Amino acid sequence: MRAGMTTGRRLVAAALLAAMAGAAGAAEITVSAEGRVLAAPDMATLRLGVRERAETAEAALEATSTATAALLAVLEEAGLAPADVQTSELSLYPVWRNDRDGAAADGFEAANVVTVQLRDLTVLGPVLGAAVAAGANRFDGLSFGLAEPEAAMDLARRRAVAEALRRAALYAEAAGVELPPVRQIQEDGAQAPRPMMLRGAEMDMAAAPPVATGEIALSARVTVVFGPPD
């Protein structure tokens, strides 16, 4: 009876050892990689507007409204769709000065800023020049992007996975093990076009200022796990 129990225990122990050895021999490789794509932008986003100062709130707001109406008319004449022009800031506040008697009111300042989506980069310079001529004196920035970035983003994803496969194969070869199949792919983050920003405060441009569009970068990062199925 004892001999049978001893034999059974040995068989169980051998099976456990074999399972542990199999688990220890199963290679698992985890690799993170990034894929990047450079693309020429096909659209621009700019914020520009009008800032006016006057003795009264009514006068400041009226001056700003008049100049903004002229600015919007110029944008319409340039062929921009109404959906691509949006008011993004409208402000009116008192201006204070400090003297011996403390703070004192020194008029009012009003601002009206619009965000413009420009889908034809060939008219970017002329639009900026015309905006200044119409009364725009505030410039809050310019960024370039892609109207439809998914194709470029998909290429970045493919490059990220390809780089992960290359690295995993290298590690497996260096370690002297066979590269196991892909068990999991996780996208750690995909960055759409990183806008190249040009910023400014008060505008003082010549007509049709030169603008260089350059290229924008898109990136995707993945983590790939190679190993036996769970």
Residue type at 111 in one-letter notation: A
* Beta partners for residue 85, in sequence order: 116
Closest CA to 166 of 208, 226, 210: 226
Q: What's the topology of domain 43-147+195-205?
A: Alpha-Beta Plaits (3.30.70)
Q: Which helix (H) or strand (E) holds 147?
A: none
Amino acid 15: pLDDT: 35
Residue type at 32 in one-letter notation: S
> What span, in angstroms and rounded, lies between the C-alpha atoms of 112 and 48?
9
Does the pLDDT at position 89 exceed 50?
Answer: yes
User: What's the mean pLDDT when you consider all of the chain?
Assistant: 84
Does the pLDDT at position 144 exceed 70?
Answer: yes
Q: Where are the domains of the chain?
A: 43-147+195-205
Please provide residue 163's backbone torsions phi and psi, each rounded to the nearest 5 degrees. Answer: -65, -40
End-to-end CA distance of the chain: 39
Kindly state the percentage of the chain with pLDDT values over 90.
69
Tokens 């066979």 label which residue? 178
Mean pLDDT within 145-163: 96
pLDDT tens for 178-216 read 999 999 999 997 776 554 444 444 445 445 677 778 899
**In sequence order, what are the residues at sequence separation of 6 or more whose Cβ sits closer than 8 angstroms to the Cβ of residue 196?**
143, 144, 214, 216
Amino acid 192: pLDDT: 66
Mean pLDDT within 94-111: 83
Tokens of 59: 């006068």
> What span, in angstroms and rounded, lies between the C-alpha atoms of 84 and 114?
10
> What span, in angstroms and rounded, lies between the C-alpha atoms of 114 and 135?
13
Mean pLDDT within 136-163: 95
Amino acid 106: pLDDT: 84
Does the pLDDT at position 230 exceed 80?
Answer: no
> Which of residues 101 and 93 earns the better pLDDT score?
93
Amino acid 23: pLDDT: 46
> What span, in angstroms and rounded, lies between the C-alpha atoms of 217 and 36?
7
Amino acid 207: pLDDT: 55
pLDDT tens for 3-37 read 444 434 443 333 333 344 444 456 799 999 999 99
